Homo-oligomer: A and B are copies of this chain.
């Protein structure tokens, strides 16, 4: 069960409105790697966790924090859209190229659909969807996913940082950068502990089943020579990488049978 405090976790107030920046920030809200993806992935993983409380609690704490990040970004977008105009005349556009850029570059649905408040879309208006979420039941895999979520998200936040000079926006982004440092590190720590227990290959305990003769071979499918440089290096599981210059097609030419004629497959 959850409770809410009206105060934000951290400042989310720009120095001045900027509808173009509002649009860009939608990536952090409704994009593939945005805060909603973090929130729903960590909460889902936490709720599904059946094992060690340490990881379950870490996931739920972080997921709960992310709801507050969604709230902060949503709030920031609202501030950035303050006073945004509903209309500009052709004369106004002609006289003010930066106004023209704003009118044509802002998200048309911010005003039309949301009355100049945040949406749950990315900057191109694509609706956030659960295809961005991962919760597999395997915590090694999922902790790795969480590290990626925080990496891609922090990368985007760093780009957002350079896309504005507004000190208020930057203040919030500096906070998010720090939290995403922490979240990268904590999920790396959990990943490491779980790898120590279950092995570095996900999932563990399949090594005797897999065709292990293909498990340490870099196969070259090109005239590029770059991947040969991995040859002989020691992989994380202690084996050396081999290099196969000309991987053979081992599987034969497939030949499936035609379907029941009532399926009306005409194949020549």
Q: Give the Cβ gap from A89 to chain B, nearest Cβ, in Å.
A: 7
Does A15 make an interface contact (CB < 8 A)? Answer: no
Contact between chains at B258 and A51 (CB < 8 Å): yes
Q: Report how far A211 CA is from B61 CA in the complex, Å.
A: 20
Closest chain B residue to A124, Cβ basis = B125
| A124 touches which of B4, B5, B121, B179 (Cβ 8 Å) | B121
The contact string, 1 if C-beta is below 8 Å from chain B, for chain A 98-137, is 1011111111110111111111111111111111111111
Q: Which residues of B contact A86 (CB under 8 A)?
A: 159, 162-163, 260, 262-263
Q: Report how far A222 CA is from B38 CA in the complex, Å.
A: 17
| A230 touches which of B32, B58, B135, B154 (Cβ 8 Å) | B58
Size of interface on A: residues with Cβ below 8 Å to B: 197
Contact between chains at A71 and B155 (CB < 8 Å): no
Contact between chains at B57 and A209 (CB < 8 Å): no
The contact string, 1 if C-beta is below 8 Å from chain B, for chain A 168-209, is 000000110111011011101110111001101111111101
Q: Give the Cβ gap from A15 to chain B, nearest Cβ, in Å.
A: 13
Q: Report how far A181 CA is from B213 CA in the complex, Å.
A: 11
Q: Which of A128-170 contact B (CB under 8 A)?
A: 128-141, 144-145, 147-148, 150-152, 154-156, 158-165
Contact between chains at B9 and A5 (CB < 8 Å): no
| A44 touches which of B2, B96, B118 (Cβ 8 Å) | B118
Q: Which residues of B contact A111 (CB under 8 A)?
A: 159, 163, 259, 263
Q: Report how far A82 CA is from B255 CA in the complex, Å.
A: 11
Q: Give the Cβ gap from A83 to chain B, nearest Cβ, in Å.
A: 7
20 more CB-based (< 8 A) A-B contacts, given A138-B151, A185-B200: A6-B253, A8-B251, A47-B74, A47-B118, A48-B256, A50-B265, A65-B219, A86-B260, A87-B163, A101-B104, A104-B104, A112-B156, A113-B156, A116-B259, A122-B125, A129-B129, A134-B148, A137-B259, A186-B241, A204-B266
